[in-house]
Amino acid sequence: MASALGIFIDRNIIKYAKLNGTKDKLKVESYGMKYGENHKELLKQIIEETNSSKNNVVINAAEIHYEETSIFSMLKKKDYDKAVEVAYEEIIDKQKLRPELLEYGYILSKNPADSEKLHVLLGIQEKGAMETRANLFGQNVMLYSQMPIGISISNIYESPLPALIVNIEEDTYITEIYDTEPIKVTRIATGTKNIIDTINNEENSISKSYEVLRNMVLPTDDMDQISFEGNEYAPVIVSEVMKIVSEIKSRLTEAVPEQEKEKTLREKLKEKIDFNNENVRNLGFICEGIKKSPKLKDSFEKLTRKIERAKEMNIQLEAIYNLGEEDFTQEIVELAEELLASKI
């Protein structure tokens, strides 16, 4: 199999690795790092030194913005693209962005909060940023793709268990994994930038600054045991790391649901009514977006019927909800439980 060159570009460091083989059996031909801010010259050196002018080159995408949304899982797979496009356009419209200046991609996964929907993680990038990065390479370089690291980094994790992947670069990105797929990417505005800049102010060498950072060993079990003796840069390193650790802890707290007390029947009814109303709004928006497409006629009709079922169900749910508790007969309670268990 032909070789491929992977390149990660940051402000003052470029990392690269050239691989060949298959996904199950990869061989590293060469790897390394270059330091400096003249990216064009450094990339030229990497291409020449790795003899990669005729190989596919994959780089990290710049200035990626991540958003989350959802689509209904009952849609046919061939309709996913259109449904995601409608949801994407709603997000762009709310943020008053210009879609003609943007490109986007997405990852679908199971929705941990709603089995009737698929979770959508969007990666959005300005076309100008893509062009600027592509122009760093000569015309003879086979630039294959620009990959969002926050999404593609999930390939290193294959367990079905939920996880957080923390990638510390100039900024830090936390990728949340659910059922082997990324569902959320969070950017933290702290990472190696402040550390490297502080060290470089004294050492006047980017490579030496990274070497100092790489050689700093932090205990994972007790941060109080860190010794600052013999390492004048330890305080700034520890300070930045603690900011990241604090953010990770908050992510973990959010990921663990609180133990909920049993809801009353009236609370369950209100929750179901609100859920159906939200579905009616969302389905109505999707129908509006696809009603003029002949190819999506079947989906439009199915969604329309689903809207009507949700409205009819809510008429019954609201009638029961508005009763006094003294009027909750066994028959009414059984009907309520049946409606609560029903899907539209």
Q: Is residue 239 part of a domain?
A: no
3 vs 74 pLDDT, higher one: 3
Average of pLDDT values for 204-221? 82
Asked if residue 107 and residue 69 are part of one domain, the reply reads yes
Q: Is residue 298 part of a domain?
A: yes
pTM: 0.68
User: What confidence tier does 231 reach under pLDDT thresholds 50, 70, 90?
Assistant: low
At residue 213, the pLDDT reads 87
Asked if residue 336 and residue 283 are part of one domain, the reply reads yes
Domain of residue 273, residue span: 265-341
User: What confidence tier does 238 reach under pLDDT thresholds 50, 70, 90?
Assistant: confident
208 vs 252 pLDDT, higher one: 208
At residue 224, the pLDDT reads 54
> 39-76 burial string, b = 16+ CB within 10 Å, else e?
beebbeebbeebebeebebbbbbbebbbbebbbbeebe
Look at residue 72 and tell me whether its pLDDT is greater than 80.
yes
Look at residue 220 and tell me whether its pLDDT is greater than 70.
no
At residue 66, the pLDDT reads 95
Q: Distance (Å, rounded) from C-alpha 70 to C-alpha 118?
A: 5
> 111-141 burial string, b = 16+ CB within 10 Å, else e?
beeeeebbbbbbbbbbeebbeebeebbeeeb
Look at residue 250 and tell me whether its pLDDT is greater than 90.
no
At residue 258, the pLDDT reads 46
Look at residue 67 and tell me whether its pLDDT is greater than 70.
yes
Q: Distance (Å, rounded) from C-alpha 177 to C-alpha 150?
A: 11
Asked if residue 50 and residue 120 are part of one domain, the reply reads no
Share of the chain above pLDDT 90, in %: 44
Domain boundary (147, 171, 195) is at 147
Look at residue 174 and tell me whether its pLDDT is greater than 70.
yes
At residue 290, the pLDDT reads 72
Q: Is residue 55 part of a domain?
A: yes
Domain count, the chain: 3
Asked if residue 71 and residue 43 are part of one domain, the reply reads no
Average of pLDDT values for 60-87? 90
Look at residue 256 and tell me whether its pLDDT is greater than 50.
no
Asked if residue 37 and residue 72 are part of one domain, the reply reads no
Domain boundary (20, 41, 60) is at 60
Look at residue 313 and tell me whether its pLDDT is greater than 50.
yes
Look at residue 305 and tell me whether its pLDDT is greater than 80.
yes
Query: CA 35, 36, 39, 43: dihedral to nearest 10 degrees?
Result: -30
Asked if residue 70 and residue 56 are part of one domain, the reply reads no
Q: Is residue 276 part of a domain?
A: yes
* DSSP alpha helix (H) spans, 37-191: 39-49, 80-94, 127-134, 149-152
At residue 1, the pLDDT reads 58
Asked if residue 40 and residue 16 are part of one domain, the reply reads yes
Asked if residue 54 and residue 89 are part of one domain, the reply reads no
Average of pLDDT values for 163-174? 90
| Of 292, 280, 194, 182, nearest in space to 242 by CA | 194
Asked if residue 80 and residue 56 are part of one domain, the reply reads no
Look at residue 201 and tell me whether its pLDDT is greater than 80.
yes
> 279-294 burial string, b = 16+ CB within 10 Å, else e?
bbebbeebbebbeeee
Q: Distance (Å, rounded) from C-alpha 99 to C-alpha 91?
A: 10
At residue 247, the pLDDT reads 78
At residue 225, the pLDDT reads 57
Asked if residue 71 and residue 54 are part of one domain, the reply reads no
Look at residue 254 and tell me whether its pLDDT is greater than 70.
no
Average pLDDT value for the chain = 86
Please state which of the ranges 94-103, 112-121, 152-161, 212-221 shows the lowest mean pLDDT. Answer: 212-221
At residue 206, the pLDDT reads 92
Q: Is residue 104 part of a domain?
A: yes
Q: Is residue 280 part of a domain?
A: yes
Share of the chain above pLDDT 70, in %: 91
272 vs 303 pLDDT, higher one: 272
Asked if residue 137 and residue 87 are part of one domain, the reply reads yes
Q: Is residue 28 part of a domain?
A: yes
Look at residue 126 and tell me whether its pLDDT is greater than 90.
yes
Q: Is residue 330 part of a domain?
A: yes
